[in-house]
Amino acid sequence: MRAAIRSGIRLTVAQLPRRPALNVRLDTNASGDFVLMSRQDWVGLRGYPEFQTFSMHLDSLLLYQAYYSGMREIILPYPVYHMTHTAGWGLGAEQSSLVGRLDVFGVPYLSYARFLQIVEKLSKTKDKHFNGLNWGLVDQQLPESGPSPKEISTLARSESTGNARA
């Protein structure tokens, strides 16, 4: 049984207050760092929502989009380690500081209240997509480049003499 501590009182999951509008509780804590899904599912969802905002809550939104599209979350039975981000996402005071900086610089972001509204709408609508069919860079012509012949020649010589840089 999972439990949480609030103000020194141990609460079981059944006693925890439910998040408004979330009838389903997915594991969304730093979820963007750990999302793993098949290519077919990723393409079916059309990737992360491409909102023109700071990336806050977009990973969680993808999980709810996947859930309401019929996919089910699997929590792996072994530990996963996470490196703390610097000057980015955080909890409590760190999150307040981040939101304050975003507000000062006029950077749009998805508030938690708006996130809840979108999740509620996802649970009720037929179309679960945020991105159109041209999501990603599908309609962009991206120039390709590579090393010049001189760079290739120099690298080949370095490798043959054992002087290649790591």
Residue 106 within any structural domain of the chain: yes
Lowest model confidence (mean pLDDT) among 4-13, 24-33, 119-128, 156-165? 4-13
Q: Is residue 78 part of a domain?
A: yes
Q: What is the pTM of this model?
A: 0.68
122 within domain boundaries: yes
Q: Residue 45: CB partners within 8 Å, gap ≥ 6?
A: 62, 65, 66, 69, 128, 129
In a domain, 143, yes or no: no
Q: Are 51 and 130 in contact (CB under 8 A)?
A: yes
| 147 assigned to some structural domain | no
Secondary structure of residue 157 in the 3-state scheme: helix
Counted domains in the chain:
1
- pLDDT value of position 104: 93
Residue 2 to residues 12, 74, 160: CA-CA distances in angstroms? 6, 16, 58
Please give the structure tokens belonging to residue 15: 């006693």
pLDDT digits 0-9 by tens, 87-119: 555 555 566 788 888 999 999 999 889 999 999
Is residue 91 domain-resident? yes
Q: Domain span at residue 128?
A: 3-132
User: Is 9 among the domain residues?
Assistant: yes
Sequence-distant (6+) residues with CB within 8 A of 44 are 69
Q: Is residue 159 part of a domain?
A: no
Classify the phi-psi angles of 30: left when phi > 0, otherwise alpha if psi is within -120 to 50, otherwise beta: left
Cβ contact 23:123 at 8 Å:
yes
